[in-house]
């Protein structure tokens, strides 16, 4: 099944936006030169500075077939929608009823393919009549109740807490140069090899180790999981055996999904999580230099996390904590692109 709608869309500052109601800030870095996304928003760059472009929006149930013949540029990105109401609009124009909702299946992950033609005709020009043409095709990847739960949508409401997603997005908007944030690498450094593995100690509190944005800890925390780990946007909780006290923590960054399982651990669990800012610290971690490492140093986007847990022989005399966890983290989708 496929629907198609064409519209003239007014753009400014070279930008077409895909966003939902809220405070998500579109990405400023577009590695492929055409389109990029962050959780809750995406941007499509136009050749003209200001004016009207011709846009056809296609909503499909599956990735479109075809090679893009007749188009000069074709790029794919992934959309993450927290509301299921993402629309396309010009910068500063606000959301309208036309073109239609792109993410009608509700919160979750979607694919977006952008075709473009004519972006080089009048770079930086002002177009009163459209001579740049775009086709934006969107299809669902992971939607429905399970996807909604994985994204943590509705967590605050279910727990009777205020929804602070807007607050954390506003924090990200105010810090428009994330390379200046403590614990985060500059864009030029983000493609370097991952940091070396880290071993440290953290303090469990009420059976919890928390991973949050330390500069704006307003994201609703997920409920204490029955297993090892639970996630909500910008917030993770790891369940510990002991209620309070020291536990060992090992952190291992990987450039992609690890193929091998770590050996010698009693249990493991794997999840995905979303960070809207690209800054995630384990709150009670203690290191030799007192610098808490950033688990998501590659930037905003979707990450994988594999948590391993074990309890050492409690009868053995040791200065080390009797309970330890290994956190293996890797990027899945960053600013609308796959890592590497």
In whole angstroms, how far apart are CA 172 and each of 23, 168, 179? 9, 6, 12
d(CA 301, CA 274): 6
Q: Residue 183: what pLDDT? A: 38
Confidence (pLDDT) at 92 = 61
pLDDT score, position 84: 85
**Confidence at residue 113, expressed as pLDDT on a 0 to 100 scale:** 94
Nearest-angstrom CA–CA distance, 208 and 237 = 6
Residue 58 in tokens: 């296609």
- Bridge partners of 127, per DSSP, are 51
**Inter-residue contact 219 to 256 (CB < 8 Å):** no
Query: Using alpha carbons only, what angle is made at residue 166 by residues 162 and 167, rounded to the nearest 5 degrees?
Result: 80
Of residues 304, 277, 301, 330, the one with CA closest to residue 31: 301
pLDDT of residue 335: 60
| pLDDT number for residue 178 | 42
The CA-atom distances, in angstroms, between 171 and each of 109, 150, 204, 299 are 23, 23, 27, 15
Rg of the chain over Cα atoms, rounded to whole angstroms, equals 22
Separation in Å, CA 96 to CA 21, 55, 88, 228: 11, 14, 8, 43
254 with 330: CB under 8 angstroms? yes
Three-state secondary structure of the chain: CEEEEEEEEEEECCEEEEECCCCCCCCCCCCCCCEEEECCEEEEECCCCEEEEEEEEEEECCCCCCCCCCCCEEEEEEEEECCCCCEEEECCCCCCCCCCCCCCCCCEEEEEEEEEECCCCCCCCEECCCCCEEEEEEEEEEECHHHHHHCCCCHHHHHCCCCCHHHHHHHHHHCCCHHHCCCCCCHHHCCCCCCCCEEEEEEEECCEEEEECCCCCCCCCCCCCCCCEEEECCEEEEECCCCEEEEEEEEEECCCCCCCCCCCCCEEEEEEEEECCCCCEECCEECCCCCCCCCCCCCCEEEEEEEEEEECCCCCCCCCCCEEEEEEEEEEEECCECCC
Confidence (pLDDT) at 289: 60
pLDDT of residue 286: 81
pLDDT computed for residue 175 by the predictor: 44
Each of the 340 residues of the chain gets a pLDDT tens digit; together they read 678 888 888 898 899 999 887 656 788 788 899 999 888 889 999 999 999 999 999 999 988 887 678 899 999 998 888 888 898 988 765 545 566 889 988 888 899 999 999 998 888 888 888 999 999 999 999 888 777 766 666 655 555 555 555 554 554 445 434 444 433 333 444 444 667 888 889 999 999 999 998 766 667 788 899 999 999 888 999 999 999 999 999 999 998 888 888 888 989 999 999 888 788 899 998 876 666 788 998 888 889 999 999 875 444 444 455 799 999 999 988 765 555 5
**Cα–Cα distance between 227 and 122 in angstroms, integer?**
57
Question: How far apart are the C-alpha atoms of 257 and 303, rounded to whole Å?
Answer: 10
Please give the backbone phi and psi of residue 214, each rounded to the nearest 5 degrees, phi first: -70, -15
β-strand partners of 98? none
18: nearest Cα among 74, 78, 108: 78
Tens of pLDDT along 23-69?
A: 567 887 888 999 998 888 899 999 999 999 999 999 999 888 876 78
Cβ-in-10-Å burial (0-12, 13-18, 19+) of 214 comes to middle
């Amino acid at each position: 099944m496929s629907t198609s709608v064409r519209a003239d869309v007014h753009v400014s500052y070279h930008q077409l936006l895909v966003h939902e109601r809220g405070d998500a800030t579109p990405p400023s870095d577009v590695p492929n030169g055409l389109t990029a996304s962050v959780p809750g928003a995406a941007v499509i760059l136009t050749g003209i500075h200001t004016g009207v472009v011709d846009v056809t929006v296609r909503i499909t149930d599956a990735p479109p077939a075809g090679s893009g013949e007749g188009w000069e540029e074709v790029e794919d990105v992934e959309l993450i929608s927290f509301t299921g109401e993402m629309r396309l609009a010009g910068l500063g124009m606000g959301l309208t009823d036309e073109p239609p909702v792109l993410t009608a299946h509700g919160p979750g992950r979607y694919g977006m393919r952008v075709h473009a033609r004519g972006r080089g005709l009048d770079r930086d020009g002002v177009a009163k009549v459209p001579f740049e043409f775009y086709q934006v095709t969107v299809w669902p990847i992971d939607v429905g109740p399970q996807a909604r739960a994985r994204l943590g949508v509705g967590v605050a409401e279910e727990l009777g807490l205020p929804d602070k997603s807007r607050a954390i997005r506003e924090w990200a908007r105010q810090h428009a140069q994330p390379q200046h944030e403590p614990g985060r690498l500059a864009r030029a450094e983000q493609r370097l090899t991952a940091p070396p593995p880290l071993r440290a100690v953290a303090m469990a509190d009420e059976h919890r180790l928390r991973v949050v944005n330390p500069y704006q800890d307003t994201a609703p925390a997920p409920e204490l999981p029955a297993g090892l780990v639970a996630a909500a946007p910008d917030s993770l909780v790891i369940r510990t055996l002991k209620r309070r006290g020291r536990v060992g923590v090992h952190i291992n960054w990987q450039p992609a999904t690890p193929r091998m399982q770590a050996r010698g651990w009693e249990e493991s669990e794997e999840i995905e999580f979303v960070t809207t800012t690209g800054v995630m610290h384990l709150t009670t971690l203690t290191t030799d230099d007192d610098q808490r490492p950033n688990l998501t140093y590659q930037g905003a986007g979707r990450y994988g996390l594999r948590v391993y847990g074990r309890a050492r022989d409690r009868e053995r005399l040791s200065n080390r904590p009797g309970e330890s966890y290994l956190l293996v983290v890797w990027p899945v989708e960053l600013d609308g692109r796959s890592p590497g």
